[in-house]
Amino acid sequence: FGRLASGLKRSSDNLASSITSVFTKRKLDAAMLDELEDVLIQADLGVDTAMAITETLRRDRFDKDVTDEDVRAVLAAEVEKVLAPVATPLAIDAGKRPFVILMIGVNGSGKTTTIGKLAQKLTAEGKSVMLAAGDTFRAAAIEQLQVWGQRTGAPVIAKPAGADASGLAFDAVTQAKAEGRDVLIIDTAGRLQNRDELMNELEKVIRVIKKVEPEAPHATLLTLDATTGQNALKQVEIFGQRAGVTGLVMTKLDGTARGGILVAIAQKFGLPVHFIGVGEGVADLEPFEASDFAKAIAG
Ligand code: GDP
């Protein structure tokens, strides 16, 4: 909780000082509620959550004395209400060998880093993990995954840059199956400059994976960079339509002022949130906890 609270300090400081500036008077009136609603929307929490919070205050506290602390308590409670249903651990079905995780997201969103962190976590649990360098578009991405493989001891299936991503995925699933690996995590390309081409490639990768393992991928995780704010909503929509996202990982929640976007995403899509990234290090991946997050964001 300490890491998350300090990571979200910029989000909560922003909110807290804005809330304090709204509550210069003491008795709650319509103008204050209006201003508060604006503050909450600007904090990326989403219109629905912002309205729910102001409605709760209107109902319970109108024309009564309120402090900014009272408001933060209502904020934390409402945020937790939205997040609790989506806070879901990633369940790895031991009956699936390999349990295939497809990692998707735009370039820079933290896919490769999250794969490394996840490989470390699963390896530490005693699972045998294999990685596939499916971002065949970028030599740097392949090398980066190989570094994570060395660091975590997970073998990496890779081909030279420019190779066909679906062919690589096919080989990786085949090999992971033959070796009886517990988990196979497949990296993918994330260039959004040519969205159609990217989505076609993703669909093809999924089709080819199914040729080896009809039920795979067993999890399709979308990484979202918290610092991109509202744009993350669009990414969930686009990847969800074409690749069938089963769960989310929100990265870079350390040191962003825009952590509130996770609340808007939860409200809009209701997709499971499995993990949050709170740093660049191998240990900086935490299971997502609704109440910790709510407290951290309310300050
Ligand atoms: P990819 O292009 O989606 O594979 O993204 P990368 O995994 O290469 O990450 C892009 C950059 O973000 C790298 O510099 C990572 O070290 C950094 N990064 C990833 N996750 C986090 C995080 O949770 N916190 C911070 N501060 N940086 C992160």
pLDDT of residue 1: 57
Q: Is the CB of 121 under 6 A from ligand 1?
A: no
The amino acid that residue 277 corresponds to is G
The response to whether 14 counts as a known ligand-binding position is: no
Judged by DSSP in three states, 4 sits in: helix
| pTM given for the model | 0.94
Q: Does residue 112 have its Cβ closer than 6 Å to ligand 1?
A: yes
End-to-end CA distance of the chain: give it in Å, rounded: 12
Atom of ligand 1 nearest to the CA of 116: 7
**For ligand 1, what atom is nearest to the CA of residue 279?**
24
**Beta carbon of 246 within 6 Å of any ligand 1 atom:** no
pLDDT digits (tens, 9 = 90+) for 207-232: 999 999 999 999 999 999 999 989 99
Predicted ipTM beyond 0.90:
yes
Residue 259 has pLDDT above 60, yes or no: yes
Tell how far the Cα of 108 is from the centroid of ligand 1, in angstroms: 6
The 129-132 sheet, strands edge to edge: 156-157, 129-132, 183-186, 99-104, 219-225, 247-251, 273-277, 285-287
Q: Which of 6, 113, 148, 151 to mutate to test the pocket of ligand 1 (most atoms within 8 A of CB)?
A: 113
CA gap 67, 210 in Å, rounded:
56
